[in-house]
Amino acid sequence: MSERLHIGTRKGMFEVARHDGAWDIVDAHFLGDPVSAVLAEADGTVWAALDLGHFGAKLWRRNGAGAWREMAVPQYPPKPPDDSDDPHPWSLGQIWALEPGGIAGRLWAGTMPGGLFRSDDGGASWVLNEALWHMPERRQWMGVAGGE
Amino acid sequence: MPTINFTRQLERFLKVPCATVEGATLREALAAVFASHPTLRGYVLDDQGALRRHVAVYINGRPAKDRTQLADPVGPDDEIYVFQALSGG
């Protein structure tokens, strides 16, 4: 069982480790910035999604004890002109879920609006899950990431 | 050629230039900067290429009018400033 937690908060990401039965904050990252999702993988890779109010959603990756590196974020396709009854923006608001894909380099990201993206190259590029995005029921989805 | 200045707030995240660039519109001028600083694009524009909601752009002290197509004309002596807007509550 892991003795280290990675906790995303509205004021940064904190690493908490257990020593002698007590939990202590041992490191902090992105201080002052909202961290909307965190993923710590078994191989030591850590992902942090930021929700920078003025400057948009960002995704950073760190391999082990290495330096943080900014990665690509999911991008939505242009909204079709004849789709004006879709109440949701076709534009990335924030990343609010990150999950490992089970094979090297694969990562899933859930976003606001309610889209699912997959990366097969370690976060260098993303592909929208079109089948889920084009479900008619998607237009009624609500309540993601604290409201939309 | 127009000059573009970016808010120092962006330096928390990445290097930002003060650049003199080619371009007859705001979009062309920004594109010239993003060509050499590609990560900066996502901080200023959203994934549809429009100005981010809370980013403000001024051309010679006047706010840019076309925040979607960025079609505001810019002249060779113009100064473009990219700021974060005051927002929230």
pLDDT of residue A80: 86
Note whether B33 and B21 are within 8 A (CB): yes
What pLDDT sits at residue A2? 67
pLDDT (tens digit per residue) in B12-71: 899 888 889 999 999 999 999 999 999 999 999 999 999 999 999 999 999 999 999 999
B88 has pLDDT over 80: no
Q: What is the pLDDT of residue A148?
A: 44
Confidence (pLDDT) at A40 = 95
Q: What is the pLDDT of residue A118?
A: 98
How close, in Å, is residue B34 to chain A by CA atoms?
15
pLDDT in tens, chain A (148 residues): 568 999 999 999 999 999 888 999 999 999 999 999 999 999 999 999 999 989 999 999 999 888 999 999 999 999 888 877 888 889 999 999 999 998 989 999 999 999 999 999 999 999 999 999 999 888 888 765 544 4
Chain B residues whose beta carbon lies within 8 Å of the beta carbon of residue A53: 54, 87-88
Task: Of A53, A64, A51, give the one whose Cα is nearest residue A9.
Answer: A51
**Burial annotation A85-124 (CB, 10 A radius, 16+ → b, else e):** eeebebbbbbbbbbebeeeeeebbbbbbbbbbbbbeebbe
Which of chain A's residues have a Cβ under 8 Å away from the Cβ of B52?
54-56
A59-93, pLDDT tens digit by residue? 999 998 889 999 999 999 998 888 778 888 899 99
Residue in chain B closest to A75 (alpha carbons) equals: B47
Give the residue from A55, A61, A95, A128 with the most B CB atoms within 10 Å of its CB, the best one to mutate. A55
Q: Positive or negative, the Cα torsion across A132, A133, A136, A141? A: positive
User: Cβ A92–B47 below 8 Å, yes or no?
Assistant: yes
**B15 in contact with chain A, both atoms CB, cutoff 8 A:** no
Question: pTM of this prediction?
Answer: 0.91
Structure tokens at A74: 């999911």
Q: State the nearest Cα–Cα gap between A18 and chain B, in angstroms.
A: 31
Residue B85 has pLDDT above 60, yes or no: yes
Q: Does B13 touch chain A (CB under 8 A)?
A: yes
